[in-house]
Amino acid sequence: APAEDPHLRRGPRGYPLLPGGYGRSTYYTGAPSPYAVRGEGYRVWDDRGRELIDANNNFTSLIHGNAHPDITEAATKALSSGASWGIPNLYEWELADLLLSRLTELDQVRFTNSGTEAVMSAIRIARASTGRERVIVTKGGYHGTSDIALVPGGPTYTRGVPQGVIDDVTPVPLNDAEFLRRSIEAAPDAYAAIILDLLPNRAGLLRISDEFVTTARELATRYGIVLIIDEVISLRLGPHGLSGGYGVSPDLLTTGKTIGGGFAVGAVVGLGSLMSEVDPTRPGSLPHGGTFSGNPVSMAAGAAALRLYSESEVKRLNSLGDAARESVMARVADVGWEVRGRGSLLRAVPAGSEKVDEGTQHRLWWESYNRGLLGSPANLLSLSTPMDQAVVDDIADRLTDAVLAVAADAQD
């Protein structure tokens, strides 16, 4: 055991050094969790010496697992020439080029430090270019921690968000294409943007139907609304992102996580006609900065990560995930659970649930952890390229056992 549990460390005035003992609220799993001290490939070790299969992958961002040699080399090489500079660097072009070669219907990229910032910028671009304010989101979704992005989560997420911001957001029930159509047609000139996450984790990892996506695209085009597809998590699911899989092209696409190779990153990728809003050579362009946006280390690591994530690797990971979902599903259906997701992302939830209660989520997290499987606190599991069939089978077995333990517990 560690000499001193940092959760218990207090400052001179009696407070833990981090609020609640946590550096990110999203780490919270109901009880103080051990600390990560090392990672290699698909494994991480905690401060108690326990070895875990890392299916958290820093909330899906480590598509190549921990400390991949090519990524470490690319990042180290960039870092050894200086961590960041106040004039542009060439690595930004490299990553932009790689992204645009995948998102072939979009023209330009702006990098940010996080997905949150990417979504904030995309919304501002949409509002500025349309001269409108209202934004459509899907109920229960998550788009980071900016004011607007928290509104779809409902009242528990919007303390501290001004009412005016809340009033500008229209949450639409997932997959209710008719509701979407009615909302827009009631005031088509009011809407700046529709924001969609095609596989919203916060909303239970339910899939968005083809009909809903197609309707959103059609209405956006007809009424001059900007369609933003938030692929911060889902970009990994296809060579052209998940929107590519739906055959729908957004006007702006926000992403992050995987494209930084494990370093802080976000990006807005979009049509040239919209992205020109942040073109500083144009008078009156929108402010966009970020001291560390497009920094060489994130860009170099991201470029290495994207190069390694070839079309065949995308497909290999997705089929491993598809098989794992089926295998767990077959073993947990009888106890009233199901496995949702798509491709390399999976999540076990009580069957039919819309919003999974936090207590259940945390119980499953600990049951998994105690079986050497590390997921996100909502039990979103993501595969990484160092994993092979044997590792994924192992994940499926551990997850199954953990679900069965939670289900048995619930019956006591």
Q: Which is nearer to ligand PMP, 332 or 375 (CB)?
A: 375
Q: Cα torsion at 392, 301, 98, 314 (round to 10°)?
A: 0
Q: How far is the CB of 48 from ligand PMP (least distance, A)?
A: 27
Which lies closer to ligand PMP via its Cβ, residue 223 or residue 292?
292
3-state secondary structure of 123: helix
User: Measured from the CB atom, is 126 or 232 closer to ligand PMP?
Assistant: 232
Give the residue from 287, 237, 265 showing the smallest Cα distance to 116.
Answer: 265
Query: Least distance in Å: CB of 12 to ligand PMP?
Result: 32
Is the separation of the CB atoms in 195 and 123 below 8 Å? yes
Smallest gap from residue 191 Cβ to ligand PMP (A): 20
The amino acid occupying position 368 is S
Indicate left, alpha or beta for 205 from its phi (over 0: left) and psi (-120 to 50: alpha).
Answer: left
Q: Which SS3 state, helix, strand or coil, does residue 214 take?
A: helix
Site of interaction with ligand PMP (CB under 6 A): 59, 114-116, 119, 142-144, 197, 201, 230, 232-233, 256, 266
| Whether the Cβ atoms of residue 218 and residue 188 lie closer than 8 Å to each other | no
To which H or E segment does residue 338 belong?
Answer: strand 337-342
Closest CB to ligand PMP among residues 205, 332: 205
CB of 277 to ligand PMP, least distance (A): 20
State the minimum distance, in angstroms, from the CB of residue 162 to ligand PMP: 20
> In angstroms, what is the minimal distance from the CB of 14 to ligand PMP?
31
Residue 329 has a CB neighbour count (10 Å cut-off) of 18
Considering the complex, what minimum distance in angstroms separates the CB of residue 232 from ligand PMP? 4
Would you say 45 or 157 has its CB closer to ligand PMP? 157
- 3-state SS string for 223-256: HCCEEEEECCCHHHHCECHHHHHHCCCCCEEEEE
Of 213, 216, 244, whose CA–CA distance to 318 is shortest?
Answer: 244
Judged by beta carbon, residue 65 or residue 140, the one nearer ligand PMP is: 140
In 3D space, the residue among 41, 94, 82, 35 whose CA is nearest the CA of residue 65 turns out to be 41
DSSP string over 387-402 = --HHHHHHHHHHHHHH
Closest CB 226 distance from ligand PMP, rounded Å = 16
Nearer to ligand PMP, 253 or 403 (CB): 253
Angle at which helices 358-369 and 389-411 cross, to 10°: 130
For ligand PMP, which residue has the nearest CB?
115
Residue 25 or 81 with smaller CB distance to ligand PMP: 25
Token pair 């549990």 is found at 5
Q: Which is nearer to ligand PMP, 241 or 266 (CB)?
A: 266
The strand pair at 226-230 and 169-172 is best described as unpaired
Intra-chain end-to-end CA distance of the chain, in Å = 32
Distance of closest approach, residue 145 Cβ to ligand PMP, in angstroms: 7
